[in-house]
Amino acid sequence: MKREVPLIITAVVGIMYIFQYFVPHEPVSRFSDWFSDWFGIIQAFAIWLGALNLMKLSLLKVARRKKDWMYSLVTIIGFAAIFIVGIFFSRGANFQEPGTRFMFIYDNVYDPLSSTMFALLGFFVASASYRAFRARNKEATMLLLAAFFVMLGRVPVGDMITKEWLQLPHWLWLSNWADWVMNIPNTAGQRAIMIGIALGIMSTSLRIILGIERTFVSGD
């Protein structure tokens, strides 16, 4: 039963979602709102399981002085600090208002740390591009050439070379080359991927609704 009940719920909910796409009338049109509300409620309870799991593992690591235990200590201190400040010292339910201690930590610790991680992307894009654009074979060389024209066509110097210096006809300006690459082959490739994804989602959904794919349901 532990396996069958979740499979039946999954199938019923899946079919209701499909039904809703074609039937806009109430109460059918409210199905997704109801399920979203339920999901939100379950999520709210489940967050405690996650938080407790994080604390349990971190405390055990510190208590047993496992390798790199000091990082876990930072996690525990950070968690406890934001939790205590948020609950007890930040105007209760209005903790997200400007000027609370919670928002002070958010603005001066969390936000800069988050931005720092995001900023790392700039460096990672450079290193990944360097590897991706090395002309190791035919495909990589085509990628390199396409990237070269698109990048150059997207900055003013691209058109300056083809328009001002070489005085080429309009269709040979680098900005037009870049637009062509982005609008024709790139869009075609993206659409092919999107059609494949849509079919993949449909196939997966059917497998789950019909109970053929049941890996995500425990059997014992």
Partner 1 sequence: MMKKALSISLFLLVFPVCGAASPAWAQDAPVDSTTVVVAETPPQLEAPAPVVSVEAQDTPDDAGKSITISWELSADDVAGRRNVTKYIILRSTSPDGPFDTVGSATAGMTTLTDGQVDNGVNYYYKVAALAGKFTPAGEKLFAGVASPLSGAAKASGQWFHIIRTARILPWVLVIGISILWFINVAKKGKDLYVRPIAGLAEVEQAVGRATEMGRKLVYIPGTQDMDNVQTLAGVTILGRIAKLAAEYDAQLDVPVSRSLVMITSREVVKEAYLNVGRPDAFNEDIVRYLTDDQFGYAAALDGLFVREKPATIFYMGAFYAESLIMAETGNAIGAIQIAGTANASQLPFFVAACDYTLIGEELFAASAYLSKEPKLLGSVKGQDVAKVLILIAAVAGLLLGTFKIADISGWFQV
Which residues contact partner 1 (rule: CB under 8 A)?
A: 18, 21-26, 29, 39, 42-43, 46-51, 53-54, 57, 68, 71, 113-114, 117-118, 120-121, 124-125, 127-129, 131-132, 190, 193-197, 199-208, 210, 212-213, 215-220
In residues, how long is the chain? 220
Closest CB to partner 1 among residues 169, 219: 219
| CB of 194 vs partner 1, minimal distance in Å | 7
Buried/exposed 203-214: b ≥16 CB within 10 Å, e otherwise: eeeeebbeeebb
Which phi and psi (to 5°) does residue 194 adopt? Answer: -65, -40
Closest distance of CB 180 from partner 1, Å: 18
**Cα separation values, 127 from 49, 122, 123, 133, 159, Å:** 38, 9, 6, 10, 27
Nearer to partner 1, 44 or 93 (CB): 44
Give me the least distance between CB of 71 and partner 1, in Å please.
7
Cβ proximity to partner 1: between 33 and 97 the closer is 33
Instruction: Calculate the alpha carbon distances from 2 to 6, 45, 51, 217, 220 in Å.
Output: 7, 21, 26, 8, 7
- CA pair distance 66, 143, nearest whole angstrom: 46
Instruction: Tell the smallest beta-carbon distance from residue 124 to partner 1 (Å).
Output: 4
What secondary structure does DSSP assign to 107-153, as a single string?
A: IIIIHHHHHHHHHHHHHHHHHHHHHHTS--SHHHHHHHHHHHHHHHH
Shortest Cβ 171–partner 1 spacing (Å):
20
Of 19 and 164, which CB lies nearer to partner 1 in the complex structure? Answer: 19
Please identify, using beta-carbon distances, which residue of 166 and 183 lies nearer to partner 1: 183
